[in-house]
Amino acid sequence: MTTPPIPDIDPDIRRAWTLPGNVYADPGIYALAKERVFARSWQLVGDANRLKAPGHVLPFTLLEGCLDEPLVWTCDERSRLHCLSNVCTHRGTIVVEGEGHVNQLRCRYHGRRFALDGRMTHMPEFEGVEGFPSEADDLPHVRTGRWGPFLFASLDPAIPFDDWIAPMRERLAFLPIDDYRFDPTTSRDYHIRANWALYVENYLEGFHVPYIHGRSLGGKLDYDAYDTEVYDYSNLQLGVGNPGDRGFELPPGHPDAGRVMAAYYYWLFPNVMFNFYPWGLSINVVYPLGPERTKVSFLTYLHPSAPADREGAGYDVHRVEMEDEEVVEAVQRGVKSRLYHRGRYSPRREQGPHHFHRLYAQFLSGSAAG
């Protein structure tokens, strides 16, 4: 499989051209992104509220449909969480096949046993094997991070977790994030016939809001005040409301004090969005399933004092999503045109996509930090 050249994105948005259209359908680019982008980035992988009791084990697949890496969360006897490979170090069998409570991990194939921290503790019929056991017989640990109830993991992180999460954690330190509660009734998955990167680009700019979301978001946000702040590996779109609207109760000295803040839209490279509203949080996790197939999981968390009525921005997320899906799928068809190559950016409205394209090109080229 031949991979097309990775384009440079000029750091000056006034001179820059967008990613070329072939990036969004090329199987070689998609395969490269798996290893250089997703295997090296942080992914949202769990809720700590599910793993409180010692002995609790919870197997999962890291970025299912893309990386497909079998992992398992364990809570040991001291209530410490571990994220481990869920593949036996003997012959590669899946070790934990279902959620439950156990004293140890045992591979059903040949009986190898592991402690809940991943240490191999027993292997039958291995007398006389030289150099056994060794650290290579333990289940590998996967690097993790945590913010509030949210658990993250990365196979080979190019970015320290604290650097990745810091801008959002610091700006929103006033929120009782540890007390947010998951609402399964308003959480759902969407399947989109488009490349994952097109979905991210669409999320990262407010340029399309009056054209695509005129009815669903019209009047809920002050479009003229809509702005983007860019950080190293994330960016923030500021959703400013209108006078008299419900906004966040900001503490004195907060950077946004004095403004009606209707929403904070955080994107963390490459594929996680945290959308904060006064009533709570809507998380979007973007799962690449192929060069032209994407799944987006919407996860709803409610503020502990959320009102029964969720007025304002973020209330009708399903309608907004349907509007976004329709236009993103149209773009997927368009960028494959033989007559389209690359576009330009609006310096006022497309700082987010420009930032994403620069990071994406950097990671694809193999020049990411770490």
Q: CB–CB of 295/191 below 8 Å?
A: yes
pLDDT score at 6: 82
Residue 261 to residue 280: CA distance in whole angstroms? 13
Q: CB–CB of 66/42 below 8 Å?
A: no
Please list the residues that pair with 276 across neighbouring strands: 264, 281
pLDDT score at 311: 59
pLDDT score at 219: 57
pLDDT score at 10: 96
Every domain of the chain and the residues it spans: 43-147, 171-364
**Is the CATH number of domain 43-147 2.40.160.210?**
no
Fold that domain 171-364 belongs to in CATH: Naphthalene 1,2-dioxygenase Alpha Subunit; Chain A, domain 1 (3.90.380)
pLDDT score at 314: 53
pLDDT score at 308: 61
Q: CB–CB of 158/368 below 8 Å?
A: yes
pLDDT score at 174: 96
Over residues 310-368, the pLDDT tens digits come to 555 555 677 777 788 888 999 999 999 999 999 999 999 999 999 999 999 999 998 77
pLDDT score at 227: 85
Over residues 58-86, the pLDDT tens digits come to 999 999 999 999 999 999 999 999 999 99
Phi, psi of 223 (to 5 degrees): -60, -40
pLDDT in tens, the chain (370 residues): 667 778 889 999 999 999 999 999 999 999 999 999 999 999 999 999 999 899 999 999 999 999 999 999 999 999 999 999 999 999 999 999 999 999 999 999 999 999 999 999 999 999 999 999 999 999 999 999 999 999 999 999 999 999 999 999 999 999 999 999 999 999 999 999 999 999 999 999 876 676 566 555 555 666 666 789 999 999 999 988 888 888 999 999 999 999 999 999 999 999 999 999 999 999 999 999 999 999 999 999 999 987 665 555 555 677 777 788 888 999 999 999 999 999 999 999 999 999 999 999 999 998 776 6
